[in-house]
Structure 1
Amino acid sequence: MARIGIIGAGISGLTLAFLLQNKGHSVTVFERSVQPGGALRTTRTADGWSAEWGPNTIIESSGRIKSLISMLDLEDRRVYPDDLAKKRYIVRNGRMIAVPGSLAELIRTPLLSRSAKMRILREPFRGRGNSTDETLADFVRRRLGEEFLKWPIDALVGGIYAGNPELLSLRHAFPRLALLEEQHGSLIWGQLRGGIRQPAGSDEIPRNKAAIFSFDDGLQVLPEAITRKLGDAVVTNVWPTEISTPEISTTDIRNPANTSDGRSARWQLSFRENHKKGADLTTRSFDVLIYSGTAYGLNDIKLPDSLSKEIRAVTEIPHPPVTSLTLGFRRDDVAHPLDGFGVLVPGVEGFSVLGTLFTSSLFPDRAPDSGHVTLTTYLGGTRQPEIAGKDEDEQEQLVTGALDRLLGLRGKPRFRHRVHWPKAIPQFQTGHQQFLDRINRAESEHPGFYMSGNYRTGISVGDTINAAFDLADRIHHKHQD
């Protein structure tokens, strides 16, 4: 079995390490921070408030996610949203409107004009597109119209990517929409016919049927459980400085047959402990090395020239800044019933926020008791990056002003939790395929080197876990001897 080094202990690196260790490999994970888990981190206070640093939910989009939870003995710690949380709101003309969940609701909703509704009903009769890398905005204009783009879609993109539909690639950012058109010729016909046709053996669960969940103590429960299983295999507070291939020349690295023992190229990782530049370097050797850090984190690591030539460009993937601000209030200080998942705000509405999750309505124990509520609001993104960089007091004023207009907020916050991500969510913009091609080529030409992360296989926690299963199987197949 292989000696495997993994750079990065986010959910991608931790899941890979856990799966590969279970397959019998010797695994070591190197993490810069003192706490594994990346953005999956939860703050809980002694007086009962709770806030997530990053994602708030996981979509159970495959049987593999269920399998991971079972392997970690976490089944009894999962919590699912209340049925009321199925309701989603979008702002139009300054007020919150529930997203229609059926054809009858679509006909009656004030979210769209009569002409926009008629445009949607004609969608099945529109032809397929011919662009190989169409923007999401162009796709929606073509199939559903400008009004549907400006309100529901722009709001959705702000909530998922904190991005801009005019820039995002349809086939990379929303591949399921592209597949519905490709397989059925229509989004509506595709949904009526059961959605995307999956290949034989697929365990994918359709998104409209997949459950959403968290854990009793927040999403941090997941990386904590994996870290406990891995034990000493997770090394924190270390700063990787260089990846090298000391055993073979740059020319020979493309041909594992030219190595001295006929095996795939061996890799070395040099790192400093405690992030101290003056600290001594430590070097470890591995048969397999996996980079599972952020795309932009590659800028901090020296790479072999042949590898750098391929993957250094990955650092150019845009990551707009986002701030997450969770505020706690007395329940009586919020007029709205908070009967839903949350509210998303289209850019055309002119608010200074991307949207707000009704976090205490989603899951239990996110506020001290039924007399209090928590609301998590997101600011910045591609739409308004300058707002993400404002100071906390100014951001709180912007958020409470928006919540006053939308929810009838009266009182002042009893709890505050703020996280600023200078580089938050990778944007799968048009041209993203060039980055994937470079990664694939780097792995092909550098045996034993692999890359994993949300910039490659999807930004959701579920996408990341599914991709980790796929990559673990691929690595095990190639390096089990």
Structure 2
Amino acid sequence: MRVAIIGAGISGLALAYYLQKLGVRYDLFECEAEVGGVIKSVQQGAYQLELGPHSLQMNNELQELLQELKLEDEVIRPATKTQDRYIRKDGAYHCIPASPRRLLLDSFFHWRTKLKITQEYKLPPQEVPEETVSQFFKRRFGQDVVDYLVQPVVAGIYGGDPDKLLLEKTFPVLKEIERTHGSVLKGLDLQLDIPRKPVISLQNGLQTLPKAIASKLVSLHVDHEVEMIHRAKGKYLLSIRHDVEGLADEEFDAVVVALPAHAAAELLDFTTPGLAAALHNVTYAPMTVVHTAYRKHAIGHPIDGLGAMHPRKEEPFSSGTVWSSSLFPRICPDDEVLFTSYVGGSQSPELAHLPDAEILLRVHEELTENYQISAKLPAFQHLYRWPAALPQADMFITDVHQLAQLLEAEQLYACTNWIAGPGIPDCVRYAKHLAQKIFSQRPSLP
């Protein structure tokens, strides 16, 4: 059996790695000279910047992968004593309680909202077709919880709008809890004191991970752009630009598309027009990432935790800010603090497209106000744009998932964040499971 994997982001790399471990022949094609996709780490003088994901949230598959790649000594754990996250409300930052029970004891919500939360136990479960995240939380907890907790959290994870994202595609475990226990709070009772999964980084940036995987692969082909997929007599052939290795003459038993939705759609227009049409409809959130540094003595607000989220009701410029140097101090000079701010997302896409100078100035002004910064100018600023940062699990994604599932019978698979989930650990887990599925479906030897 031979498998073609198209796209060397974290999903394609991880899939190739796991297939190689299982002894399945593969060829991994990447149109760029560099692997990693949205994982991008750069060094700008004394500053180590993450232009994509700012950290990794550990799960079993990721931990195992880091061990196998011998990256354990590269792991950097947060320097901050807490993993607290904050939300801005009424012009001040409030620490988010780690559990519903603590939320009821905290002063973050008005007593009327807390009373509504306590009544959730009494509400019967409902089956609402294509229920959005906002609809679910408003139905069970009230609008205030949507505005000041759900909306900023969804913006932080997905760059998304809870009014549009489907609950079953974003937080399916909550829907399952409601079905099983009749109450979300009741179902979560046994999990109240489970600690949050730790976040980590790597010494030379997160791009260390895709580079380490790539170094182990025996059939990785960079600067190879796959232009078309052909299917004939149950086999797949690829049209490849700059095919110096003659790989276009090879037959493949299976093809895995590990590309962003729109790139995948263009590639599949001829082979599977139905899936291609659905992929063209997938919505992406634009995001502009801004790194800003100040001297420590200029900051009047305590910085200890992961960062802060900004509800839309507060009319912020950025959707949130990670306190990057609070987590990983060595990424900037010792006497400075580095913030990473996120501008845009699907709720405010127009902000992501403002001119560079305006974005940099408005981020500086917002940070100055929020953190009582006395400096007139930052010590350092850097901007990077993602025109299509994160796929949105809205009403259009359902058709994509259904069609992708049906095409697996033809040995055509998808392995990417629009099917696996937004996080790097999600993609690694999905790649491992898909590798095992492909291995189990290989033809048996006579």
TM-score, normalised via structure 2 length: 0.93
**Count of residue correspondences:** 441
> 1:176/1:111 Cα in 2 relative to 1: closer, same or farther (>3 Å)?
same
Q: Answer yes or no: is the 8 Å Cα contact 1:48–1:365 preserved in 2.
A: no
Q: Distance in 2 between matches of 1:387 and 1:343?
A: 19
- Contact 2:282-2:396 within 8 A present in 1 as well: no
Letter in 2 for 1:268: L
1:223 to 210, 213, 224: 210
Cα offset, 1:269, TM superposition: 1.2
Query: Which residue in the other structure is 2:237 paired with?
Result: 268
Distance 1:390 1:11 in 2: 30
Report the counterpart of residue 438 of structure 1 in structure 2: 403
Deviation, structure 1 residue 302: 5.3
2:388 match: 423
Residue in structure 1 matching 2:162, options 162, 165, 169? 165
Tell me, what secondary structure is at the counterpart of 1:382?
A: coil
Deviation at 1:453, TM superposition (A): 0.8
CA contact (8 A) 1:85 1:362 kept: no
In structure 2, what is the equivalent of residue 297 of structure 1?
Answer: 263
Asked whether 1:467 is paired with 2:435, we answer no
Q: CA deviation at 1:209?
A: 4.3
CA distance in 2, matches of 1:17, 1:102: 39
Q: In the alignment, residue 36 of structure 1 is paired with which amino acid?
A: V
Instruction: Encode CA deviations 1:113-152: one digit per residue, 9 max, x unaligned.
Output: 1111111122212111221321111111111111111111
Cα distance between partner residues in 2 of 1:297 and 1:21: 25
- Which 10-residue stretch deviates more, 12-21 or 115-124? 115-124
Secondary structure of the structure 2 residue equivalent to 1:82? coil
For the pair 1:349 / 2:289, whether they are aligned, the reply is no
Alpha-carbon RMSD? 2.1
Q: Deviations over 1:176-202 (max 9, x none)?
A: 22122122222221121248xxxxxxx
- Give the gaps of 5 or more residues in structure 1: 196-205, 249-264, 275-279
Using the TM superposition, give the Cα deviation of residue 416 of structure 1 relative to its aligned residue in structure 2, in angstroms: 2.5
State the AA in 2 paired with 1:193.
Answer: L
| Kept after mapping to 2: 8 A contact 1:85/1:361 | no
Report what 2:294 is aligned to: 329
Q: Which runs of structure 2 are paired with 1:153-192 in the superposition (5 Å)? A: 153-192=150-189
Is this contact kept in 1: 2:258–2:416, CA < 8 A?
A: yes
TM-score by length of 1: 0.87
Q: Give distance in 1, aligned partners of 2:323 and 2:196.
A: 22
Contact 2:100-2:185 at 8 Å conserved across structures: no
- Specify every segment of 5 or more residues in structure 2 that has no aligned partner in the other structure, as ranges: none
Residues 273 and 325 (structure 1), Cα distance of their counterparts in 2 relative to 1, 3 Å cut: farther
Q: What CA distance in whole angstroms lies between the structure 1 residues aligned with 2:443 and 2:323?
A: 47
Q: Is the 8 A contact 1:241 1:302 kept in 2?
A: no
CA distance in 2, matches of 1:299, 1:105: 46
Change (3 A) 1:48 1:283: farther
Secondary structure (helix, strand or coil) at the match of 2:210 reads helix
Secondary structure (helix, strand or coil) at the match of 2:390 reads coil
Kindly provide the amino acid, as one letter, of the partner of residue 242 in structure 2.
E
**Residues 310 and 441 in structure 1, CA contact (< 8 A), matched pair in contact too:** no
Q: Deviations over 1:360-396 (max 9, x none)?
A: 1112411122x11111000111111111011211101
Which residue of 68, 72, 78 maps to 1:71? 68
- Take 2:422 and 2:248, find their aligned partners in 1: how far apart are those partners? 33
* Counterpart contact for 2:80–2:327, Cα < 8 Å: no
- Establish whether residue 37 from structure 1 lines up as the match of residue 23 from structure 2: no
* Selected match of 2:283 from 286, 311, 318: 318
Shift of 1:212: 1.9
Q: Could you give the per-residue CA deviations for residues 137-168 of structure 1, whole angstroms, max 9, x where no partner exists?
A: 11111111111111111111111111111111
Q: For the Cα contact (< 8 Å) 1:311–1:442, is it kept in 2? A: no
Alignment correspondent of 1:286: 252
Output the CA distance in 1 between the equivalents of 2:396 and 2:8.
28
Q: Specify the code of the residue in structure 2 equivalent to 1:244.
A: H
Matching residue's letter, 1:157: V
